[in-house]
Amino acid sequence: MNRSASLTRRGLLAATLSATVLAASACGGSSSGTEAASGDLTEVTVALSWTPNTDYTGVFAADELGYYKDAGISLKVIPYSSTSPETLVAHDKADFGFSYQAGVTYARAAGQDVVAVYAPDRKGTYAISVSADRDDIQSPKDLDGKTYAGFGSPDEGPLLKYVIQHDGGEGDFRSIALDTSAYQAVYSKKADFTIPVVTWEGVEAERSGKPLKNFAPTDYGFPDQYSVLLASSDKYLKANSDVARKFLAATAKGYSYSAAEPEKAADLLVQANPTQLKDADLVRASQKLLAGDGYLNTEEGHVGVQDETFWKNYGSFLYENGLLTDADGKKLTAEPDWTQYYTNAYLTASGS
């Protein structure tokens, strides 16, 4: 399982509307406001953005611990498919979906009804990485002239150029677009660097005896971003505001538990997904890193809350680099009102 593949979802947003609707319909409909077959519980559907991993621990922990049931909710997880969670949410095929800041931004700029409602992490989990044994690469400026193994996302090149230039380099490098095995290309020397998820692939690399050397973009002035978000639609939220608040409150309890009891939470994630998650030790190590290094957004009274500066700074980067297009594929000519792209209105005051 490779979480770098979450970056490849960005390409899915370019699909035509007709193809999107057909694909979304094939995944089944949303059950907004309906009672589940299990009784008086209201079913809430959540679409995953990749195979089960520690991005989602809070949701699975909340389900396993009965937090959703206590809130009158029956959780239905929609597995990852070729249809992006943003599309499923926008077309009423999922009540909530896991996304990330660029994903929500691309979708909403293009006219899709998608809005971010919960941030599991308080800081991004991406890094620019090389093999740890590369003594010739000591900082991003040393990436000039090297080969990048990427995922074909439009924001990767501008991000890398920014970081390299702010470290004193020219920002000139070669790119090869691979699939989900991009970070493996670094291990095999087919490429010099890539952008992995340090809280999963970084842990996986360390455990495999092939550690990575990581450069955090924020150390070079690049704006931080939400690499994981829960999104919904304005339509769903307005029609189901009470259910949405109850769902997010239970979800917040799940993520708070994951921060306080990372190993137990990891075991709950594995328990819920035994077929997909075979390496329980990897899951525990990843969850411990998330909890121990301050990634999880679980500060009392602030659980899941999104920061305006994240949306303004990273959103402006995407806009200023001409990466945002409207429903007709034309570049936006005015910077969006970022307050329309996210909301904290459905979080409880205590965040739990």
Q: Can you give 312-340 as a three-state secondary structure string?
A: HHHHHHHHHCCCCECCCCCECCCCCCHHH
Give CA separation, 152 vs 33, 43, 51, 72, 174, in Å: 38, 36, 20, 42, 13
Contact 65, 251 (CB under 8 A): no
Which of 19-28, 173-182, 200-209, 226-235 is the least confident region? 19-28
Contact 54, 266 (CB under 8 A): yes
pLDDT at 247 over 50: yes
| Cα–Cα distance measured from residue 225 to residue 215, given in angstroms and rounded to the nearest whole number | 15
Cα-flanking dihedrals φ and ψ of residue 230, to 5°?
-100, 130
Classify residue 332 as exposed, middle or buried by CB count within 10 Å of its CB (0-12, 13-18, 19+): middle
The mean pLDDT of 327-345, rounded to a whole number, is 98
The mean pLDDT of 83-99, rounded to a whole number, is 97
Cα-flanking dihedrals φ and ψ of residue 175, to 5°?
-125, 140
Report the percentage of the chain scoring pLDDT > 90: 82
349 pLDDT band, cuts 50/70/90, is low
Q: What digits encode the pLDDT tens for the residues 213-235?
A: 999 999 999 999 999 999 999 99
**H or E stretch covering 112:** none
The mean pLDDT of 162-189, rounded to a whole number, is 89
Q: What digits encode the pLDDT tens for the residues 272-320?
A: 999 999 999 999 999 999 999 999 999 888 899 999 999 999 999 999 9
pLDDT at 12: 39
| Higher-pLDDT residue of 35, 101 | 101
pLDDT at 323: 98
Strand ranges (DSSP E) for the chain? 42-47, 73-78, 96-99, 115-118, 128-131, 147-150, 174-177, 212-215, 229-232
| Higher-pLDDT residue of 5, 102 | 102
Query: Average per-residue pLDDT in the chain?
Result: 90
Using a CB cutoff of 8 Å and minimum separation of 24, what contacts does 323-328 make?
Answer: 323/106, 323/154, 323/155, 323/158, 324/105, 324/106, 324/109, 325/109, 325/110, 326/109, 326/110, 326/111, 327/110, 327/111
Name residues whose C-beta falls within 8 Å of residue 330's C-beta, 6 or more positions apart in sequence. none
| Cα–Cα distance measured from residue 33 to residue 341, given in angstroms and rounded to the nearest whole number | 23
pLDDT at 56 over 70: yes
Residue position matching structure tokens 């993520």:
255
pLDDT at 11 over 60: no
pLDDT at 300: 82
pLDDT at 325 over 80: yes
Q: Which pair of structure tokens corresponds to residue 84? A: 């992006």
pLDDT at 10 over 60: no
Task: Give the chain's domains with CATH numbers.
Answer: 3-123+226-340 (3.40.190.10), 128-220 (3.40.190.10)
129 pLDDT band, cuts 50/70/90, is very high
pLDDT at 187 over 90: no
Report the 10 Å Cβ neighbour count for 131.
17
| Higher-pLDDT residue of 17, 242 | 242
Torsion of CA 178, 216, 286, 65, to 10 degrees: -110
Which of 68-72, 263-267, 348-352 is the least confident region? 348-352
